[in-house]
């Protein structure tokens, strides 16, 4: 939408395509020649807009691979005419084998029984499904094996490679602790990579050499520059957010999303006045209260009641009272000239002040991933290009 139409909106998310491209180029700079980027655009590109994100990456950086969570997400990209390969990391019921084939996507296979069911349905549909077999090296979420044990995983992965109706072109795993700062985190990550490479070696000994093998996520690609993976699956770093507060990427990547709203009303009240539901906050003295047009219905965490802050006119204003579904209140007493229609920054920069997704997350026992993914569909995404 044109930027001028923002004045008709109550809350919106500004998405910087320039920052997105800059972050993608930084991610590329981390990789050895043998490793390609696979851009993770699941969950609507972590709330940033999957189609717009994929359009930029494929159109300007010639991105060849994207990862999504479901067949619905893959179909959305295909309907938008996004070129390149799409890997579905999540589960697709076998009865949708025909759709997987017609969509031309790659499906993750989580276990031998699922692979057999998918194989049968693919044969019925008259085609073959390209698959990447998941290996559990210690995440204990999906995949063959358990806790990094090799024997059964090798046997089953080899069996999957010969199933009719399937084209087993890859294996993959996922690092559980690559974003941790502790010595045990580093050791566990190293053990996962070692197990994965051992399984790959054993499969080759049996005669199955997968075209692709990948284990690196954003944090893994940052801390493990060696040639251990065909792809680095870049998710959170692509959107300008560090995988954890322990990994400092200041100046290397920039947040792509800024969440903004408007001041709807300003009123002055004396001390002793309760604010919002449940009267969890009572003014201690004369207070200038600004009501802001955003709430938990927009994905702004209710847990930030009485503990979060926003930016108005380049200054910080604390949230007072409980966050409502569509609105919240802040103490704007220390900010001169606040008036209805002023822009409020909930995530992003205003003047010399900045509120990051990690700051919000830390204030309510969440992670930054949750903050951006939670921004509701009803919040318009406004795509900005300056260069």
The C-alpha angle with vertex 280 and arms to 296 and 264, in degrees rounded to 5, equals 50
The Cα 247–Cα 188 span in angstroms is: 17
Give the whole-angstrom CA distance, residue 379 versus residue 387: 25
21 labelled catalytic: no
**Where would I find the beta strands (DSSP E) of 8-115?**
11-16, 36-40, 65-68, 85-88, 106-109
Say which residue the tokens 């807009």 belong to.
49
Looking only at Cα atoms, what is the longest distance across the chain?
79
277 is catalytic: yes
CA distance 129 to 358: 39
Q: Taking CA 355 as the corner, what is the angle to CA 179 and CA 313, rounded to the nearest 5 degrees? A: 170
Cβ atoms 36, 65 nearer than 8 A: yes
Q: With contact defined as beta carbons under 8 Å apart, do 317 and 304 qualify?
A: no
Do the Cβ atoms of 26 and 61 come closer than 8 Å? Answer: no
- The answer to whether the beta carbons of residues 387 and 372 sit under 8 Å apart is no
Catalytic residue among 26, 39, 42, 222: 42
Closest by CA position to 207, among listed 260, 159, 254, 140: 159
Catalytic residue among 3, 124, 194, 277: 277
Tokens (6 digits) for 239 = 């959107």
Positions marked active-site: 42, 277
């Amino acid at each position: 939408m044109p930027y001028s139409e923002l004045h008709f909106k109550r809350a919106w998310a500004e998405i910087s395509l320039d920052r997105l491209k800059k972050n993608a180029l930084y991610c590329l700079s981390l990789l050895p020649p043998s490793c390609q980027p696979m851009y993770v655009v699941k969950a609507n590109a972590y709330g940033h807009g999957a189609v717009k994100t994929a359009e930029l990456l494929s159109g300007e950086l010639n991105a060849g691979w994207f990862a999504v969570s479901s067949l619905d997400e893959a179909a959305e990209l295909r309907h938008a005419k996004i070129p390149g390969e799409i890997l579905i990391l999540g589960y697709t019921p076998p009865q949708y084998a025909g759709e997987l084939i017609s969509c031309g996507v790659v499906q993750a296979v989580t276990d031998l029984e699922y692979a057999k069911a998918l194989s049968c349905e693919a044969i019925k549909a008259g085609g073959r499904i390209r698959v990447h077999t998941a290996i559990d090296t210690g995440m204990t979420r999906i995949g063959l094996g358990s806790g990094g044990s090799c024997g059964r995983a090798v046997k089953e992965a080899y069996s999957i490679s010969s199933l009719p109706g399937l084209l087993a072109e890859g294996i993959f795993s996922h690092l559980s602790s690559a974003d941790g700062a502790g010595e045990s985190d580093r050791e566990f990550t190293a053990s996962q990579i070692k197990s994965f490479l051992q399984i790959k070696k054993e499969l080759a000994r049996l005669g199955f050499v997968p075209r692709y093998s990948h284990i690196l996520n954003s944090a893994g690609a940052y801390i493990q520059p060696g040639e251990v993976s065909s792809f680095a699956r870049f998710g959170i770093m692509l959107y300008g957010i560090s995988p954890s507060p322990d990994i400092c990427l200041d100046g290397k990547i920039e947040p792509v999303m800024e969440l903004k709203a408007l001041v709807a009303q300003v009123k002055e009240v004396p001390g002793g006045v309760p604010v919002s539901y449940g009267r969890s906050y009572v003014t201690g003295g004369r207070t200038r209260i600004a009501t802001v047009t955003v709430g938990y219905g927009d994905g702004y965490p209710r847990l930030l009641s009485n503990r979060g802050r926003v930016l108005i006119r380049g200054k910080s204003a604390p949230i007072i009272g409980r966050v409502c579904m569509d609105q919240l209140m802040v103490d704007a007493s220390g900010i001169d000239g606040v008036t209805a229609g002023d822009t409020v920054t909930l995530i992003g920069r205003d003047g010399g002040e900045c509120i990051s997704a990690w700051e919000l997350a830390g204030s309510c026992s969440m992670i930054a991933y949750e903050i951006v993914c939670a921004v509701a569909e009803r919040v318009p995404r406004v795509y900005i290009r300056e260069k």
